[in-house]
Structure 1
Amino acid sequence: MKKLDYLKYLTFILFVLFLCCEAYLRMFKAENMVLHDYPKIYRFDRDVGYKGIPNIDGYIRRPSIDKHFKLNNFGFYGPDFSLEHADSVFRIIIVGSSVAQGMWANQKESFASLLNDRFKRENFKVEVINCGISGASRGLKNIRSAREIATKFRPNLILFELALPINDINYSRETYRDYSILFTGNNLDEFKHSKFVAQRKVDLIKSHSLITELANYSYVIRFLYRRSSDSWGTMMNCWKIYSENSADSWLYYSSEQLNMEQSLTEINKLSADLVRVNCRLVTFEYGSSLFDNKYERKFSNIGLNLPLDKDQYHHELDGHPNLKGDLIIAESLFKVLKDRYIPTVFLPKT
């Protein structure tokens, strides 16, 4: 009898503790505990890992971000644009990762669209197109993308978001049963096998919907899901996948890490390739320039020296720039581009 009373008392204490934790998370950590919704907008591409699906509707839900959007007619984040452009218009295309893409922010505008608006307000004959695609460590893939973009869209100038030294990871993304899946490989067979493993993880989640549905109602459960890991067991890993809305398989993970000299060699090659299609390469860095005079460069580089790490310039619970951050990027690029890179014929008439 005493043991039964003890179990009742312990159960009561645990229940009260659970309610207190639930109340605390709902009152003070509600935004941190949101269930994620990863954008399901990509398809596999052998050359650059993955590409956006043209004209697809997307949605992002993360701490401090809640946004619906639509990719344009070429699968990029921004308004539709034409394949060709008139000779009377100076076309600038921005290539880079998630900061350049601008999708991972609550505001609708990317700094590319803000920069385009700035040129239009000042009556420049300039158009700025955003061809960024989110994803960390895509250095060599972004270089390959820049080559493809220059050939396809014939820009006059490519603004290339630079992160040195270049690091490149062999991964791709697709959508499977309303989950974003990430898979790896160095050839098609490896990609297929890794993709299969990621899909099986999603299948397992779908077969245990009663357990995963607990996260829809309890913030404590979400907290536990968020802190689970592969080492805790298969089911706990599934819970984490559910809360992130993204499943991954790193079966054939490999990372190509270039030193500074190798990185510059790749960018110099890109610059030479772009010259052949009448396009100029200009790289840019959000902070100070990492170059010094001992490296030979065949391209121009812009070091913006922006304080994007300060709280007022990025989302509170996310490192991507907020509207203030995108505005200072756009304004800084506008000043440099109009003074140094836009030919006189495209300047506003005085």
Structure 2
Amino acid sequence: MKNLKNALVNLSLLLGSVILTLLAMEGVFRLLDVRGTHAPRIYSWDHALVPKEERLPGVQIQFKPHVEMEMRYDSNPRGAFNEHNTLVFHTNNFGFRGPDFTEAKPPGTRRVILLGDSFTFAEGVNWEDSFPNRLAALLSPPDSTPTEVLPVATSAWNTLDEIHYLEHQGLKFQPDLVLVIFVANDAEYAGGMDLWENYWRRHESPLLRFSYLASSVYNVVQRRIDGRRYIDALVNYGLGFKPEWERCRDALLKGRDLAQGAGANYAVVIFPFMYDLSETHPFLAVYRMIEEHCEANNIPVWSLLPDFMGWDYSDLWVHPTDQHPNEIGHRIAAESLERFLREEQLLGPRRKSP
């Protein structure tokens, strides 16, 4: 009887210790605001959209000049948002992010146009931390020719939107260099090839909202078990959408011809999705297809992936519900881009086609 009593006491002490440890860990997770369930980001940009009948031909979305937009999250893990967990965007006189600029290029200035989607728009990132802004600073040291970097980019654009805009308006900016910033969903979201909402929702359990600790553990385990399988299936399915990829590749060629016809250099830069940044990156088949297409058609092409390798991809997310690159990712991209432009001498006179 005495042994049984001692055993019960020891078991009670053990259970008490476990409970206290879990409660302490729960407290730490709450203090650090680390959790595995999140409300979706909130944004309403309808007021900022140019009416459909006023948009340029072939361009599905355009933002109005000089409007303010907000994106709100349920937490602020990086301290990059304001006190309401909100990031405020402002558009310039042409409806893009960044400072106002003149249509005609100022004398004695080089101009680089970055055609892109939400990555180049720098969704979720303050403008001063964005790679277009950082790249402009890297390309304009005090003793060199002033260089303007114009982010001609809008959330949800694809390659067709970008080249249509270049054709109907972008060439009026008199660029010396046109860079297409390519992301794996730029072939008209072929097969739903995207990560954002579906990806994070798959790895959250609403039943565990009561616990930051339990929901975090569940999230990590689910991502390890299911994440890669889900993304591999997404890529394989998306690559089967042949017409969308053909239109995307044709648009890249049209962009080359438009830029070179206007006396500008032209190149394609591949910005990877922020997932498994290693030699087993699941979107490699997409990138290789674009690289081979560019190389076969004498288009300089550069992948940013090698410069991201070794990073824990979740450390580069804007937010657990938003896998756009954060300010660290934008810094890496800007430094890699500067190296590419200088190595390929794309900032000088137009390269002659072989």
* TM-score (structure 2 length as normaliser): 0.58
Question: 1:37·1:62 contact (CA, 8 Å) conserved in 2?
Answer: no
1:114 to 2:114 alignment: no
Q: Does 1:88 align with 2:88?
A: no
SS in structure 2 of the partner of residue 328 of structure 1 = helix
Query: Aligned partners of 2:167, 2:70: CA distance in 1, in Å?
Result: 29
Shift in Å, 1:94? 0.5
Give the drift of 1:273.
Answer: 1.9
Paired AA for residue 312 in structure 1: D
Asked whether the 8 Å contact 1:165–1:260 carries over to 2, the reply is: no
TM-superposed deviation, 1:329? 0.4
Cα 1:149–1:333, aligned 2, differ >3 Å: closer, same or farther?
Answer: farther
Please give the alpha-carbon distance, in whole angstroms, between the structure 1 residues aligned to 2:97 and 2:176.
20
Contact 2:318 2:324 (C-alpha < 8 Å) held by counterparts: yes
CA contact (8 A) 1:78 1:130 kept: yes
Identity of aligned residues (%): 19
Counterpart residue number, 1:42: 49
1:277 corresponds to which of 255, 262, 278: 262
Alpha-carbon distance in 1 for matches of 2:121, 2:315: 20
Which of 298, 307, 319 pairs up with 2:323? 319
Given that 2:39 and 2:73 are in contact with CA atoms closer than 8 Å, whether structure 1 keeps it comes out as no
Match status 1:67 vs 2:71 = no
Paired residues of 1:98 and 1:104 also in contact (CA < 8 A): no
2:317 aligned with 1:310: no
Residue 33 of structure 1 pairs with residue 39 of structure 2: yes
- From the superposition, tell whether residues 294 and 53 of structure 1 become closer, same or farther in structure 2 (CA, over 3 Å): closer
Q: CA deviation at 1:81?
A: 1.0
Q: Which amino acid in structure 2 is aligned with residue 48 of structure 1?
A: V
Partner SS state of residue 319, structure 1 = strand
Asked if the contact 1:150–1:279 (Cα under 8 Å) also holds between the matched residues in 2, the reply is no
- The answer for unaligned runs of 5 or more in structure 1 is 1-23, 171-219, 224-255, 346-350
Q: Does the aligned pair in 2 maintain the 1:38–1:61 contact within 8 Å?
A: no
Deviations 1:113-158 (A, max 9, x none): 111112223543221111111116x221122122234322111111
Change (3 A) 1:36 1:152: same
* Gap change, CA 1:154 and 1:316, over 3 Å in 2: same
Which whole-Å CA distance do the structure 2 matches of 1:151 and 1:280 have between them? 12
Distance 2:97 2:260 in 1: 26
CA-atom RMSD, angstroms?
3.6
CA contact (8 A) 2:59 2:165 kept: yes
> 1:182-215 CA distances to partner (integer Å, 9 max, x unpaired)?
xxxxxxxxxxxxxxxxxxxxxxxxxxxxxxxxxx
In the TM superposition, what are the counterparts of 1:1-350 in structure 2 within 5 Å? 32-33=38-39, 36-40=42-46, 41-43=48-50, 44=52, 45=55, 47-63=58-74, 64=76, 66-105=86-125, 108-121=128-141, 123-125=143-145, 126-135=147-156, 138-163=158-183, 167-168=187-188, 258=243, 263-287=248-272, 289-290=287-288, 291-292=291-292, 296-304=296-304, 305-307=306-308, 310-317=313-320, 318-339=322-343, 340-343=345-348
- Give the conservation status (yes or no) of the 8 Å contact 1:286–1:306: no
Distance 1:309 1:270, change over 3 A: farther
8 Å Cα contact 2:129/2:331 also seen in 1 = no
Are the counterparts in 1 of residues 111 and 176 from structure 2 also a CA contact under 8 Å?
yes
Contact 2:159 2:252 survives alignment (8 Å): no
Query: 1:202-243, CA deviations, whole angstroms, 9 ceiling, x for partnerless residues?
Result: xxxxxxxxxxxxxxxxxx9xx9xxxxxxxxxxxxxxxxxxxx
- Deviation at 1:301? 1.1
Cα offset, 1:31, TM superposition:
8.3
- The CA distance in 1 between the partners of 2:331 and 2:166, in whole Å, is 24
Task: For 2:110 and 2:294, locate their aligned partners in 1 and report how far apart those are by CA, in whole Å.
Answer: 33
**Post-superposition CA distance 1:302-338 (Å, at most 9, x none):** 1122327622222241211111110010011111112
Give the 3 Å change call, closer, same or farther, for CA 309–72 of structure 1 in structure 2: farther
Q: What SS is found at the alignment partner of 2:129?
A: coil
Q: CA deviation at 1:95?
A: 0.8
* Cα distance in structure 1, aligned partners of 2:35 and 2:42: 15
- Kindly indicate whether the alpha-carbon contact (under 8 Å) linking 2:66 and 2:95 is maintained by their aligned counterparts in 1: yes
Give, in whole Å, the separation in 2 of the partners of 1:25 and 1:338. Answer: 46
1:97-116, Cα deviation, whole Å (9 max, x unpaired)? 10111133356432101111
For 2:67, give the aligned amino acid: I
Contact kept? 2:41, 2:71, Cα under 8 Å: no
265 and 164 in structure 1: CA distance in 2 versus 1, 3 angstrom threshold: farther
